[in-house]
Each structure stands twice: as C-alpha cells, then as structure tokens.
Amino acid sequence: MFYEFNPSDPDNRERASLLGRGALLAGLNHPNIVGYITSFEHGGEFFVVMEYVGGGHLGFQIGKSHDLKTLRRWALQIFGALDYNHGRHLLHRDLEPENIHVVVGGSSVKLADFGLAAPMVTMGLSTHVGTFNYVSPQKASNNQRHDAADDMWGSGCVLGELLTGTRLHERCPRMPFCNDARAIKDVCTQSREADGVLGLIVRDLLVTVPAQRSSAAEAAARLEGGGGGISERLPQVSEEPNQGDEEAERRRCERVARAQQEQQEEAARRAGEQKRREEAERKALPSHGASKRFLLSCKMTWRRILERLETDDRDLKEVDLSHCKIDDQYAARLAESLEKNTSRRSLSLRENGIGAEGAARLAESLKQNTSLQTLYIHCV
C-alpha cells in the first residue's frame, strides 16, 4: 500500500497521520490479519509493506460452491480478527469481500487494507467512510458516532453474500444496501435457508439499530457452539447494563431468547426431516423376494441402494437406476455387485450422469455376467 502526502505541509499533519497509521499496523499480531512487515517514505509518498496472501480476495469466492464447514470456518476467523481489533479499540471501517484475502488452499482468510482504519477514541461525528454498499445505517445517515457495530454490519454483508451467492450491488444498484429494507430481508431469509446457524447470525448482524447488533465475540461464541449442527451455546449477557443503557440491554436479552427459541425450532425441524427421510427409504425397499423388478428412486441414499444391490438376492433380476446420480466411485461398487451376482437379466442406467471411467468399469464387469439380456447406459 502507498499513500501520498504533501512534503511542504508546514505542520506535517498528513505525514504524522501516516506515521501513526504505520505504527498502528505494526502493533497488530493476529493469524487472521494480514501481517505488517515495514513502512518507509520516498518522494512524498508513504509506503507500507504487508504480508503477501496469494489466494485472492473473498469477492472471487462469492457465487462459488463452498461446503458449510468452510464458510463457518471463514466466518469464525473474521469474527476472531474483528474481536481482536475491537479489543484494542481499533475499527476497520471498510469491511468488504475485497478487503478479506484467502490463503492459498482456502484454509483461512485474513483481514486486509486498513487504509481507513482508525482508533475508536478518535472517532466522533465523522465524515462518511467505507464502500457504498457495505456502509452501516449509522454511517449512511452520517450523523452518528462510528463504533464496532459498523464493522459488524460489514461482516454481516460479506457473509450474506457468501451464503446467498449474490453481490449486494446486484440487489441494490441505485442505493446503499442498508437503505433497502426488502433487500436486507431477502439476504437474511436466503442466508438462513443456506445455513440455519450462520443465517441466524447474519440476521442479527444486519439489524438497523446498532445496539441490537451482535458483537464479534457474541457471533463467534454462537458459531463455535453451533459446530456441525444447531448451537447450544449462546452469547452471555452481561449483568451490568451496557453504558447505562437499560433499554439496549433489554433488547439484547430479547434477542438472545429469540435466537434460543429459533435454534430449538430448527433442531426439531431437522430431526423431523431426518426421521421422515429414513421412513421413506425404509418403505421404498421391498422385502426379500417380494418383487422381481426393483425400481430405485433418486431420493434414496446411495448407502441404502448399495446395501440392497450387494445382497445375494436371486429374485432381484431387473434393476432400474435411471435418473439416479452415479459418480465413478459408486459405479465401481455397482460393478463389484454385478460381478458377485450374475443372475441380473436387465440393468438400466439411463440419464444418471455416469462418467466415462465408471462406464468403462461397468462394461468390464458385465463381460462376466452372461445372464444379462438387456442393458441401457447413458454416459455423459
């Protein structure tokens, strides 16, 4: 990074500000913040040398397919870095996907570009800062004090984009995202549909009242408690009112209670879905010898399908796997099943997405099955 300043400034205010910013960056030491190396002046410009992070920024990851474990890990790292900053009374003030960089391999992310960063103690009624679509409501109104809640709004915007796969400027091309109530509601709803745990956190980060917004520590605690399922651990509410604001504390308690209730409902919903899915699979499996034609539904899990095929069932003579998604791994197991049981007379593999490698493996095994009279394979 580099910044220009006026060398002829008699008070050296710009230079002093940049030197202070360099000292501020030098004092940061966190695994999820891009590391400071050195800084120097040259020809009226101030240069800051930072750690190189070669995986690109998060903007390139929006719209791509990521497993929820990766997204939760990134979110937890973002919250950890923000909590570290806020604990040192430092605001980022320009949190957006382009300012969060991904380590090569995608194992972690790092906050970068602290060009607008400033200590909280210097932030009074300030000028508008931050990128257009990621500004918080209080920044957009330009009449409230900047604080850590601004950064948390930005983190909610970033995570909302990752979960929904849609950039904010696509939703709100003509106004700041924070001024579009419908867009905010859509992001919260779609985020929760993508991931119940992280979606609830995004919703609590995108509330328009700063005092009701989750802190970085609260968001991290909820996400850590969620793990692979629904969070059991909730943010601890302080017994002391926050800066004497009893109304804000009451709203915080209500938010925690609401989150707990929604998490319980989400857990019950998932348990019910799992039970219904297992019951449907159980009913879909015919009893031994009950039918000579076995139709496999694409709604059945491959574990149950292979269990059925790998049994030594002599009555199971016709197998229809049409429209079932078969990758090469499952095709290999299916081939092994055919080699073990040579009584199959009909096998249909139409419109199932089987690959060339899997088809070749099946063809090899079918040479050993002299009873097979009919075969349909559709290879893509």
| Cα 308 from Cα 302, distance rounded (Å) | 10
Token pair in block for residue 338: 């055919």
- Average the pLDDT over each of 207-221, 245-259, 292-306, 352-366 and give the range with the smallest value: 292-306
Look at residue 24 in the predicted model and tell me its pLDDT: 78
Q: What share of the chain is helix, strand, coil (3-state, %, to 5)?
A: 50, 15, 40
Which contiguous run of DSSP H or E holds residue 82?
A: helix 68-87
Torsion, Cα 157 159 162 167, to 10 degrees, reads 0
Task: Count the neighbouring beta carbons within 10 Å of the beta carbon of residue 334.
Answer: 25
C-beta separation of 130 from 94 below 8 A: yes
Helix (H/G/I), strand (E/B), else coil: 258: helix
Distance from CA of residue 59 to its chain's centroid? 13
Look at residue 38 in the predicted model and tell me its pLDDT: 83
| Cα 172 from Cα 179, distance rounded (Å) | 9
pLDDT band at residue 46 using 50, 70 and 90 as cut-offs: confident
Mean pLDDT of 18-34: 82
Report which listed range, 37-46, 146-155, 301-310, 312-321, is most confident. 146-155
Mean pLDDT of 308-326: 55
Q: Which domains does the chain have, with CATH numbers?
A: 1-52 (3.30.200.20), 57-268 (1.10.510.10), 293-379 (3.80.10.10)
Look at residue 60 in the predicted model and tell me its pLDDT: 93
C-beta separation of 22 from 39 below 8 A: yes
| Cα 100 from Cα 51, distance rounded (Å) | 13
Q: Which residue has the higher pLDDT, 186 or 146?
A: 186
Cα first-last separation, the chain: 48
Helix (H/G/I), strand (E/B), else coil: 3: strand
Report the greatest alpha carbon distance in the chain.
96
Look at residue 349 in the predicted model and tell me its pLDDT: 58
Tens of pLDDT, residues 224-273: 876 433 333 333 333 344 444 566 666 666 766 666 676 677 677 777 87
| Cα 28 from Cα 39, distance rounded (Å) | 14
Residue 201 pLDDT more than 60? Answer: yes
Tens of pLDDT, residues 82-131: 999 999 888 888 899 999 999 988 899 999 876 544 554 444 434 444 46
Task: Count the neighbouring beta carbons within 10 Å of the beta carbon of residue 64.
Answer: 8
pLDDT band at residue 304 using 50, 70 and 90 as cut-offs: low
| Cα 110 from Cα 32, distance rounded (Å) | 4
Mean pLDDT of 328-339: 68
Q: Which residue has the higher pLDDT, 347 or 4?
A: 347
Percent of the chain exceeding pLDDT 90 equals 23
Residue 178 pLDDT more than 60? Answer: yes
Look at residue 230 in the predicted model and tell me its pLDDT: 30
Which contiguous run of DSSP H or E holds residue 49?
A: strand 45-50
Percent of the chain exceeding pLDDT 70 equals 52
Mean pLDDT of 290-310: 46
Q: Which pairs from 285-290 meet CB under 8 Å and 24+ separation?
A: 288/313, 288/315, 289/313, 289/315
Helix (H/G/I), strand (E/B), else coil: 29: coil
> What angle, 0 to 180 degrees and rounded to 10, lies between the N-to-C axes of helices 216-226 and 68-87?
150
Look at residue 100 in the predicted model and tell me its pLDDT: 95
DSSP state string for 141-189: HT-S---HHHHHHHHHHHHHHHHH---HHHH-SSS-GGG-HHHHHHHHH
Look at residue 72 in the predicted model and tell me its pLDDT: 94
Average pLDDT, the chain: 72
C-beta separation of 95 from 154 below 8 A: yes
